[in-house]
Amino acid sequence: MGKFYNDYLDSKIKPERSLFVGIVFLVVVVSGAFGWVYEFIFYWINGGFDKFYWRGGNFLPWLNIYAYGSLMIWFLTFKLRRRPLLVFIISSVSTGILEFFAGLGVYLVTGLKYWNYDTEILGFGSIYGFVCLRSVIVFGILGLFLVYIILPGIYFLAVKLPKKAFLVTAVILFAVFLGDDIYNLVFANLFSLPSAQDVYGSIGFNFMNYRY
């Protein structure tokens, strides 16, 4: 295991193309789910341990900005795994930029703020509520977790499991999560279908108030 991890740090593990695609799929799924768990816990604390909030607008527990942000961190730090401080800085800066423009873009299009650090605990350094110092630091730490724990774990599964089993699992999980995302972002809006928030709201789940 030690040799495998060192080979990973030195970018010597080079899976064939199909396995690499499977790794990408699993990074998206695992990171999106991990982000949901983080926000679920944070907003429970932010609300004074009073209520649990379902984060995001999907049926499944995942947040797409964490999923795709993780891919960005992965590719930006691909050759820098031996330099954790640089990984932290790149993760913090890149995800901070992504978060700011994603939040701003959603606000300009819909008039909604899907997050607002001006109204949350530890929101110091907030820039229009879209990004703050705490979020940037946390994302930097999560970038380290991604690069040094999640990614090597997925790489290990990719090379140790039977190829077919790994790929089938990765494709099914990615298809389910992506289908959930597309349905709620596109089809529910275009065809006035019940969204995850409609369904979960009708049975008593708490959602954040996005209108500020």
What's the chain's length in residues? 212
Q: Is residue 212 part of a domain?
A: no
Percent of the chain with pLDDT over 70: 98
Q: Is residue 189 part of a domain?
A: yes
Task: Output 29 or 47, whichever has higher pLDDT.
Answer: 29
Q: Is residue 207 part of a domain?
A: no
Cβ-Cβ contacts under 8 Å for 134 (sequence gap 6 or more): 117, 122, 123, 124, 125
Q: Is residue 150 part of a domain?
A: yes
Q: Is residue 210 part of a domain?
A: no
Q: Is residue 33 part of a domain?
A: yes
Q: Are 71 and 95 in contact (CB under 8 A)?
A: no
Does the pLDDT value for residue 170 go beyond 70? yes
DSSP state for residue 211 in the 8-state scheme: -
Question: CA 9, CA 19: separation in Å to the nearest integer?
Answer: 18
Q: Is residue 73 part of a domain?
A: yes
Please give the pLDDT value at position 210: 55
Residue/partner pairs of 46-55 with CB below 8 Å, 24 or more apart: 46/120, 46/121, 51/206, 52/206, 53/206, 53/207, 53/208, 54/200, 54/205, 54/206, 54/207, 55/208
Number of folded domains in the chain? 1
Domain hosting 98: range is: 2-202
Please give the pLDDT value at position 113: 85
